[in-house]
Amino acid sequence: MKNHILIKLGIMSIILLWGCSGFLDERPNKGILIPTTEQDIRALLDNDSELNLVPGFGLLSSDDLVITDGGWASLRTEEEQNAYLWREEIWPITGGADWSRIYRVIFIANVVLDQIEKLQETPELRKMRAEALFHRAHAHYMLAQLFSPAYFQGINDQEPGIPLRLNSEILERSPRVPLSSYYESIFSDLEQAFNSLPVLDPIKTRPSQLAVKALEARVYLTIGNYGLAEAAADWVLSRPEVSLLSYSDLNPNAAYPFEKYNEEVIFHTVLISAGFSGVSNIQVWVNPELMEKYEEGDLRRTLYTQLRPNGGYTFKGQYSGNFSRFGGLALDEIYLIKAECLARRNQLPEAESIMNQLLATRYSPDEYVPIQNNSSQDALQWILEEKRKSLVYRGINWIDLRRLNAEPEFQRTLTRQINGESVTLRPLSKKYVLPIPDNELALNPIAQTDRRD
């Protein structure tokens, strides 16, 4: 118990000393965080309030939501206001939490990995090493979806990404590495982690083999490697440990209709809390254009959203079971990845079968009519639209917008209007990459992201 308390105090010290600093700013003394036993390491890895986080600005920048004039004025920080309007400058004074807190996940994972090397190997230490590798890979991937250019394997391999941190030397300066090297490290971490993890940990904030394969499917899809994305999705779909929810069994009148750690959840994370993401903020709406896409009998509409007196629909359908915005890995995403990969290689009956299996659980039992006989292009457009409707408010739409920019038939132009000002985010805009916080650049002199269109 004493060690557990000391570890928690170490984490609190990191939060206090590092919360508003850059990754290479004045660092906390690593000595306060040195885990010396298996119990210490387990305490670090089970601190889900620190490790099980994903960035939130992908949701803010996407067209999942719209914010009213009053809602925009009431946002918690200036960087939220800037990011919503895709301004060239985002960070006014301090760096953003989406950068510092996710690099902190990497730092903690690296501390664990470094210390495990100093201890005598045991089965439990092998498992915890695998967990740390997964957390590091997951955090590196999620950071890249905001701060690094979209990676198209074999096309822009040498384009600079962002710093890759593979040790806990907090004063070491890190250059921007090529995209290919950055993603190779992610895949290497996942490959090393796989065999030492359980198929599914009963504690879903802990990584598992299912989480590794689900993340691999997402990452391979992101970089356009559809063959390996499909193979990873197949592995997940072959396992009985997770299953689809039947939405008709859920209560649409509940404040939060979905249970935490429900049977679809593979790996639980939440979006970093921010003013725009609060469930009580009735000035932030699900995009009305998206709301119109939910058909009669589609239970996602009533389970995901709540009509407010001001006429807008706010989102309540997170798989977190509470006010936190779910940002983890779940089985519904894997069905959608599998279907997209099938459609891209023109296996239309198989793609339609996968989609019908999923959508039959999202509609009222007597309302869903199975889709069949789409053309290849129509099938892919349908799958992508259903993905947007299913995974709304998880941050996935932003990732898809970035990768689909490379395909003219799937590009979307995004628009905002605030206080009479109309702004546009065009496909292939440089503003799909967020700038590195200035306080980071002051201590780690790397090239700033060019966001000038």
What is the C-alpha separation between 161 and 149, in angstroms, rounded?
7
Nearest CA-CA partner of 99 in 58, 63, 132, 134: 58
What integer is the mean pLDDT of 182-192?
98
Q: Which of 390, 397, 318, 317 has the alpha carbon at shortest distance from 61?
A: 397
Low-confidence winner among 8-12, 334-338, 431-435 (lowest mean pLDDT): 8-12
d(CA 389, CA 83): 23
Between CA 406 and CA 410, with CA 408 as vertex, the angle to 5 degrees is: 90
- Per residue in 292-326, pLDDT (tens digit) is 999 999 999 999 999 999 999 999 999 999 999 99
Assigned CATH topology for domain 2-248+327-443: 1.25.40
- Taking the C-alpha atoms of residue 354 and residue 343, their distance in angstroms, rounded to an integer, is 11
Cβ atoms of 51 and 328 within 8 Å: the answer is no
The mean per-residue pLDDT over the stretch 246-250 comes to 98
Average pLDDT, the chain: 91
Please give the torsion angle defined by the CA atoms of residues 7, 12, 15 and 17, in that order, rounded to the nearest 10 degrees. -100
Rounded mean pLDDT, 427-444? 92
Q: What are the pLDDT digits (tens) for 217-245?
A: 999 999 999 999 999 999 999 999 999 99
* Concatenated DSSP letters of 36-98: -SHHHHHHHHT-HHHHSEE-SHHHHHSTTEEE-HHHHHT-S-HHHHHHHTT-S---SSSPPHH
CA distances from 26 to 9, 18, 29, 72, 440 (A): 19, 8, 9, 33, 11
Q: How high is the pLDDT of residue 29?
A: 46
**pLDDT, position 33:** 59
Give the pLDDT confidence of 71-108 residue by residue, as tens digits.
999 998 999 999 999 999 999 866 789 999 999 999 99
pTM as predicted: 0.93
Report pLDDT for 349: 95
Model pLDDT, residue 15: 39
Question: Alpha-carbon distance 243 to 264, whole Å?
Answer: 6
Q: Kindly indicate the confidence band of residue 13, based on its pLDDT and cuts at 50, 70 and 90.
A: very low
* 136 to 8, 61, 113, 168, 182: CA distances (angstroms): 20, 24, 10, 12, 12
Check: CB of residue 146 under 8 Å from CB of residue 199.
no
Using CA atoms, how far apart are residues 3 and 388, in angstroms rounded to an integer?
A: 45
